[in-house]
Structure 1
Amino acid sequence: MTKRTQIPFQLTALGAAVLAISGAVAQTETEEDTAAQAIYTPLLITGRYLDTRWQGDYTGGIQLGLGYTSDDNFMFGQYNGLYEEDIKIIGNLRWQDISPGDSYWRASVDDLGLDTRQGEIAWGKSDQLRLSFGFDSQIKAGNNTGATPFRGGDSPLRLPQDWVTGSTTGDFSQLQASLQQFDQELERDKLSAALAMRLSDAWHIDGNLSYEERQGTDSTAGAIYSDASTGDAALLPLPVDYRTTEFDAGVTYSGGKLNLEGRVNYSDFDNKDDILVWQNPYRSRSPESVGGLGLAPDNDQLQGRFTGQYLFSPKVRLQFDGSYAVSNQDQSYLDYSANPAAVVVEPLPRDSFDGEAQTGTLNGKLWLRPLRQMDVEVFYKARERDYDNPRDGYRYIRGDGSSQPDAALTVYNTSHHFLSQTTGLEGTYRLPMRSRLQFGYAFERVERENAAVEETEEDQFTLGYRIQPLDSFTARLELLYGNRSADTYNWDQRYYALLDVALINATPDNQRYINHPELSQYYMANREQEQGKLDLAWMPAENWNLNFNLLVRNDDYDKTYTGLRYAYWERYHLSASYSPGAKLSASLYGGYDRFESEQMGRSFRGGAEKNAFEIYPPLPQASDPDRDWRMDATDTSITLGANVMWQLSESIDLEADYSYVDTESDQAYRSYGAADVNPQDLPTVSTTLHHFRASGNWHMRKDLSLRLDYQYYRYQDDDWALQGVAADTIDKVLTFGARNPNEKIHYVGVSAIYRWN
């Protein structure tokens, strides 16, 4: 087979022409802009954090204490290290040399008693040199309520010696006695070093190096099968043992009107495990068999990036940004099957994939001020992904459940070249009453290879208006309309790109598809998009700040019959903050979010029933609209919260924060006439969270403080996928039998903070 010629990253003549006159830096803000930004400051950062004397002019400080978590959990402590009922050490350190002189050093350690500890030590000379070394440890706690009969924390996963097989999970008579809980926890440890140096007033260099290990146990699913109707599936513990090395170096030039930066980035990913092998718990396979899942392969990437900006005059500025990256993956192939009983007639076509992906980006903006009241930006964006991969046929063994298929069932790897180019114009015109009219237009063209749609084009229009009739009130309205149109939908393209010519020739024309011909993939389908945003900010008094934010968006896939037909969002957020003085600040916020979507599908079998083009009865299943089904999904969420910070006295400060989140997810189905197509609505999934946090500091002396922390965390979920589902509830899926989270956690921490000069 002829190898496709590599297409180097390049831009069209139009793109190059636009780039030559495009690119921008953000314009210098006027006093009017600054005032508007002050009003639009997000609620949660408007309150001034009261001075706890921890951040004063001290040489160092140390915080030591004990914290207690009341129960084991996996939601409250998912990322903060507080996932076990235990007493943990509270340990934080800050130490620095702040004496006069050119050189300095700083050291810090956080969360010394937790699995989320991190620290850094830095040395440098003011405005000349900075050298730092650091470490960062993180942990992710998963749902630890599940259990599995598989033994071994690594591949292969083994069943107990007294395991009793069966055709379904209900036949596993030793299942309950064999189940053992396992921890789904992922630990990450990272070491890093950084260097920054000023070579001259104009030239600077910097570099970063890091090495990360990620280890632990996650979860995955595997199945042994010969076709889609004969799967024997199981949830499996997944060992994780990753190594990642990253390096980047850059040089910066700042020369007044001209600013340039060049960077080189390199990353290397090494997975110590190539394959996950598990013993088959079912007896429906003969002889005794095992299954195998290939894991994430080793890979590396080298990227170069160049950015810059140039000030032609106070009225003309240019900015550009370009990058080019090459990713490689040449890990040795695994065997066609992990099952030693599988018969392999034809070997793999090559020893490794030896694939390469090249990705390039190019962005540019030109900012102009043709009139005193008007600003204009012309921009161009491009992104291209290209592949240099050998194309081969693979007679892979499906699901480790049979021998190698006939040559006619050979499948081929496929490259998916991608090129996106966007050109556009944005303008702002200043009007009386400190108001602005904003307008914009963008045109995007996307070209794809070996996809159902070769080209899509989208026009996007935006119109905005901002007014500040009073110093205390600002309103901003933004409207957006987008229209994406696609080429003719080639529903058979994936079929031809994936399968062997022998199978294609043996298949009737009206069955040469993988997705139904009327099914449109939403990211390539015709779509009309409408969006409106409204932001209001009002300061009725010097110490009050009120904000209201509204977002409504509708995506209408108006040419789609089967697939995603529409999606709708609406969001309402309201916040208020009150700060009568330096000793007290309070805030309240609330929000409502709603998402709706509609998706259409059709239920049909293969063979003669797969003919999707018949129009005269009796209709095959794939042609019969009575076999349609529709799913309407609705997700809603309500958020409420409050925060208070109070300097009770010169020596005591208090803070309290409460947040409430309530979500619901509904999926309703309907059918259109076929007696055997009668899907039922899925149960509503509800999630509720209450989280209260309070802390207080008592400054006993200038150099000594006592701190008390308290948290109450209440989380409830009733996901039907876990509700009442034991390990053997599903006949052909051996699950973990994990439970939904239902957590009620109290956390108390007591610590002392000592500072020294």
Structure 2
Amino acid sequence: MKTSNQLLLLGMLSALSTAALADDVKGAADTSQWKCESCKFEGSFSATVEVGATSVSDQSAKFGDFTGLNKDGGYFIGNGSASYRSKDSGEYWKLNASNLGLDSRSIDAEGGKQGNYKLLLNYDEIPHYITDNAQTPFNGGTSLTLPPGFAADTTGAMPLAGNMHTVDIGTERKRLGVGVSWLPHSDWEYAVSFRHETKDGTKRTAGSFFVDTAQLIEPVDYVTDQIDASATYSGKKFQLKLAYYGSKFRNNDESLTWANPYATPVFLATFPNSASGQLALPPDNEFHQIQASAGYQFTERTRATADIAVGRMTQDSSLLQYGTAVPGPGGSVNGRAKTFDVALKLSSAVTDKMRLNAVYTHNDRDNDTPQSLYSVYVTDMFPGAPRTNLPYGIKQDKLKLSGDYRVLENLRGALGADFDSRERTYAEVNKTHENIVWGKATTRLVDMVDLTLKLARGERSNSGSFQPIAGITPPENPLLRRYNLANRTRDTASVRADIAVSERISVSLGADSSEDKYSDTTIGLTNGKEFDLNGDISMVVTEQTSLHFFANHQEIKSKQAGSQAFATPDWSANNKDTIDFFGLGIKHAAIKDKLDLGADYSITHSHSKISVDNGISGPGFPQINTSLDSLKLYAAYRLQENISLLADYWYERYSSKDWMLDGVFPSAIPNVLALGIQPSRYHVDVVRLSVKYKF
């Protein structure tokens, strides 16, 4: 609309100036045949339809994750859009559809009458493919069984040959949403929306019997319903919004049971309740929240906003038995938690050169779940010491103050301070406080270089010495300091330069670094560093050709200390992750207004190294490597003004070497019946041909 109005205005001004000139020379001009060839007026209908086919060379869950291209073979291409706007009544509608031939399809529709009401409809499918090479001897959904005579003392003695089958692991979400909003008065708008989501499939889990473990396939059969309702007032100076949000989650499967693959006659004679195990699956739950938001414009320079939200979470599913053959406590945990969130913001342009900002937030999660004493069974085998559930809660207060000032025409500076206080229940320390001060400067050099520098320092301290939590058995090492609770200093720095080399060439360079020090930590994370270097170049070679380059290098390091003897440190570990990313692209108009060509190529390599010093010489952990190479070629040829032929080629190669997965087949570990999932490796070619028609 904005573009159409601008074109219409230009057309009218052009016509008026031409008419005035004609009047001066020849008198009044005849404008009855004048036309604006490029203006798009209201009261129009337009649509685009794209149909075609895609061919995928190889099957890969990793390649098809979220895209729906997980199987080899052909796929239908179906994309389209349509829109209509009435010239007189203000009624309109628009429709967009994409990936109709894939499991990642989506449809969005909107219609209504401008300034009166609006209707919304959307549908999405989101596939999440995890692996297609898992192997298991278990059969069934929520009750996993084994072939007769399968149990053995070790995986090597189990009759795996002939009893293993391959399973795909992954989920698919389907979302359907509807909504309506209407404006009965000029200052008020009301809206209601509803979304229904199902999530089906499988995921990985594991169950154990003391030191013997089996990796399992867990069924996923979730249903989530969400509703939003709001009333919004928009005045000249004052704005107000009242809203309600509700969410209800249902799991159609209550629990997962599995036969014990280690349940030999001798094993069962010692532990008679261990023929099968049981796991609770995510329980049904609800969340309800009421929110109020307000904003007030005191002056043209000063504005304040406030948000407040009150919520409640509940979960009352029945408790399971302690084991498949051991009665449980009965009843429900009666889980409930209250949330209370507040956000206050004040912003003021004190002068033409200075602006001040203040933000305060309060977040409170009060866990009201009753505490009870529960019997404990060690992996369904034998009773242990009773335990009491711990209803964890957290309260957080944050204050952010900042101001920026234009020192000179080409120099602007900013300063700020952030204060963060957190209070936790059932934690080794009750309170932590973190203060951060930062400064930022932006300047322009020689009219072609924009330079930005930011420095920050943060210090976090806790309320005192760490105290063991009475409800955790066995207790933690008293020298352990959890990284999110420990005293810490953090220094960060970043610099960025945007350079306009010429009208055709622009360059951006940036560097970021941070370092965390846990000087008071004896056992736990003691140090962390991160460095990031990036750059990109955009170049217009000719009117028909443009290029772009980008690169990024990132290093993440950390150090930690541990104790095998539940005492002072007797081992340490260094972790280092390195990620390198490089890419380039080209766009070329081979035949003006007829044929467009393009290509994009990217390379990503990452390396992860873990070195451990425990005082014993020997080989360290092998390095973990991943690489991803991607090449995309595309072409668009316009047969006619409204018909185009599209062609794409996509090659992608992915390789991963991970010592934690390589060669870990189902019987590789005597007391772990593994799924045998191997690191993903693939090289896939995708060819795509389609026709796009506009009308």
> Residue 252 of structure 1 aligns to which amino acid in structure 2?
T
Give 1:127's aligned residue.
115
CA distance in 2, matches of 1:280, 1:416: 33
Between the aligned partners of 2:594 and 2:350, the Cα distance in structure 1 is 57
RMSD (Å), alpha carbons: 1.7
Q: Say yes or no: does 1:367 pair with 2:347.
A: yes
Determine which of 327, 332, 353 is the counterpart of 2:333: 353
2:85/2:91 contact within 8 Å kept: no
Partner of 2:609: 666
Partner of residue 275, structure 1: 255
Following TM superposition, by how much is the alpha carbon of 1:581 offset from its aligned partner in structure 2, in angstroms?
6.1
**Partners in 2 of 1:695 and 1:58 — Cα distance?**
29
Q: 1:207 deviation in Å? A: 2.0
Q: Map 1:341-740 to 2 at 5 A.
A: 342=326, 344=327, 347-348=328-329, 351-402=331-382, 404-405=383-384, 409-492=385-468, 494=469, 496-498=470-472, 514-580=475-541, 583-604=544-565, 622-623=566-567, 625=568, 628-649=570-591, 650-672=593-615, 681-740=620-679
Q: Give 1:679 shift.
A: 8.1
| SS at 2:303 equivalent | strand
Unaligned runs of 5+ in 2: 1-43
Gaps of 5+ in 1: 1-56, 226-230, 500-512, 605-621
What percent identity do the matched residue pairs reach? Answer: 27
Q: Are the equivalent residues in 2 in contact too, given 1:58–1:755 (CA < 8 A)? A: no
Q: What is the letter of the counterpart of residue 316 of structure 2?
A: D
- Provide the residue aligned with 2:32 in structure 1: none
One-letter amino acid of the structure 1 residue matched with residue 693 of structure 2: Y
Give the Å deviation of 1:307. Answer: 1.9
- Residues 100-154 of structure 1: CA distance to partner in whole angstroms, max 9, x if unpaired? 23212222321111111111232211232211222111211121112110112x1
Matched, 1:159 2:146: yes
Once structures 1 and 2 are overlaid, which stretch shifts more, 582-591 or 558-567? 582-591
- Judge conservation of contact 1:668–1:680 (CA < 8 Å) in 2: no
SS of the residue corresponding to residue 145 of structure 1 reads strand
Which is richer in strand? Answer: 2
Distance 1:283 1:437 in 2: 70
Q: Which residue of 2 aligns with 1:243?
A: 223
Once the two structures are TM-superposed, the CA of residue 755 in structure 1 deviates from its matched residue by 1.7
Counterpart position of 1:115: 103
Counterpart of 1:519 in structure 2: which amino acid?
L
Paired amino acid for 1:446: R
Give the TM-score taking structure 2 as reference length. Answer: 0.90
Which residue matches 2:302? 316
Change in 2 beyond 3 A, CA 1:477/1:329: same
Q: Which amino acid is 2:123 matched to?
A: F
Q: Distance in 1 between matches of 2:522 and 2:349?
A: 47
Please report how far the alpha carbon of residue 252 of structure 1 lies from its aligned counterpart in structure 2 after TM superposition.
Answer: 1.3
Structure 1 Cα separation of the partners of residues 125 and 399 of structure 2:
43
CA-CA distance at 1:498 after TM superposition: 4.4
Q: CA deviation at 1:642?
A: 1.1
Question: Which residue in the other structure is 1:10 paired with?
Answer: none
Deviations, residues 475-494 of structure 1 (Å, cap 9, x unaligned): 000000001111223332x1
After superposing the two structures, state which structure 1 stretch, 573-582 or 237-246, moved more: 573-582
Instruction: Look up the SS of the partner of 2:669 in the other structure.
Output: coil
**Bigger relative contact order, structure 1 or 2 (CA pairs below 8 A, ≥6 apart):** 1
Match of 2:160 among 156, 166, 175: 175
Judged with a 3 Å threshold, the aligned counterparts in structure 2 of structure 1 residues 648 and 238 are, in CA distance, closer, same or farther, namely: same
2: distance between equivalents of 1:78 and 1:725? Answer: 23
2:240 corresponding residue in structure 1? 260
Amino acid at match of 1:63: E
1:560 alignment partner AA: T
Corresponding letter in the other structure for 1:526: N
Task: Name 2:14's counterpart in structure 1.
Answer: none
Q: In structure 2, what is the Cα distance between the partners aligned to 1:575 and 1:302?
A: 46
Matches within 5 A, 1:174-193: 174-193=159-178
Query: 1: CA distance between counterparts of 2:573 and 2:85?
Result: 64
The residue that corresponds to 1:105 in the other structure is 93
- The code of the aligned residue for 1:476 comes to T
**One-letter identity of the residue aligned with 2:157:** D
Aligned partner of 2:73 in structure 1 is 86
Give 2:48's aligned amino acid: G
Inter-CA distance 424–92: structure 2 relative to 1 (3 Å threshold): closer
Aligned equivalents of 2:352, 2:69: Cα separation in 1: 57
Q: Which of 49, 53, 68 matches 2:55?
A: 68
The code of the aligned residue for 1:639 comes to F
SS in 2 for 1:142: strand
Tell me if the contact between 2:653 and 2:683 (Cα under 8 Å) persists in the aligned partners. Answer: yes
What is the CA deviation profile of residues 357-390 of structure 1, one whole-angstrom value per residue up to 9, with x for unaligned ones?
A: 1112111122233344221112212111101111
- Give the partner amino acid of 1:641: G
Q: How far does the alpha carbon of each residue in 1:631-656 deviate from its partner, in whole angstroms, 9 at most, with x for none?
A: 10000000001122222221111221
User: Please, which moves more after superposition, 390-399 or 277-286?
Assistant: 277-286
